[in-house]
Structure 1
Amino acid sequence: MDPKELTKTAVKAIEEKKGENIKIIDIRKVSVLADYFIIADGTNASQVQAMADNVEETLAKAGCPCRQIEGYRTANWILMDYGDIIVHVFSKEDRLFYDLERIWRDGIMIDRPENL
């Protein structure tokens, strides 16, 4: 699947579980890790896990299995590696603490998937 379509599909899966403050960072010009980061947060551990579960299930159905998932059990920061995109689902507190938007500020911030 095209990285832009993969990103749009993942964002939709997060939105379906009421993910908040969803941001996309285009990191193609600043890193070889991936093309896009998706960052979102939830209000509690159950919601954070539900968002991650929905992304995993939705992208698997689209033929894009997750390469690796980290942090699922604690649900403070779940990182999901899909190669071309990396999904970060945070608790609100941990998102503020790690502040990936600041760390990756050299990337292009995209507020809406249709702006990809």
Structure 2
Amino acid sequence: MPSAETIAEAARKSLDDSKAEDIVIIDIHDKSSLADVMIVASGRSHRHVGAIADRLIDDLEKVGAHAPRVEGLPHCDWVLVDAGDVLINLFRPEVRGFYALEKMWSADAPAPRATSRG
């Protein structure tokens, strides 16, 4: 299995080649045990999101990320491609705005609360 960095770079290149918009790469290795990297990108329409996802899956398989798990392809509002240590979220713009994943995952962890002892 290729490294998270290799998969993330292959995904970024594939998204760029497919004319995905607003590509954001977020390091989440300190925030979640789900993955090391989350990528969020938009397509202009259902058809564009589906085409981006299809090409992404092919490109990830070419670098050795065998059988990435995919959710959401039939509707193409939000497609999640799980490539192990890299999660790629593809949205139509209005759906992306509603969920605001990059805002949630980019936020710093809250500072620990001070406890008062009485």
Normalised TM-score (structure 2): 0.86
Structure with the greater alpha carbon radius of gyration: 2
> How much identity, in percent, do the aligned residues show?
36
Counterpart of 1:56, as a letter, is I
Q: Distance in 1 between matches of 2:13 and 2:23?
A: 10
Q: Does 1:44 align with 2:49?
A: no
Gaps of 5+ in 2: 109-118
Give runs of aligned pairs for residues 64-103 of structure 1, distance below 5 A. 64-103=65-104
Deviations 1:7-56 (A, max 9, x none): 01001111111000000010011110000001000110111011111110
Q: Distance in 2 between matches of 1:19 and 1:66?
A: 22
Gaps of 5+ in 1: 108-116
Q: Which residue of 2 aligns with 1:54?
A: 55
Counterpart of 2:15, as a letter, is I
The structure, 1 or 2, with the larger RCO (C-alpha pairs under 8 Å, 6+ apart) is: 1
Q: Distance in 2 between matches of 1:75 and 1:42?
A: 9
Deviation at 1:2, TM superposition (A): 1.3
SS of 2:76's equivalent? coil
Task: Check the 8 A contact 1:56/1:65 in 2, yes or no.
Answer: no
Counterpart of 2:19, as a letter, is K
Q: CA RMSD in A?
A: 1.1
SS of 2:88's equivalent? strand
SS of 2:30's equivalent? coil
Normalised TM-score (structure 1): 0.88
Q: How many residues align?
A: 107
Task: Check the 8 A contact 2:49/2:76 in 1, yes or no.
Answer: yes
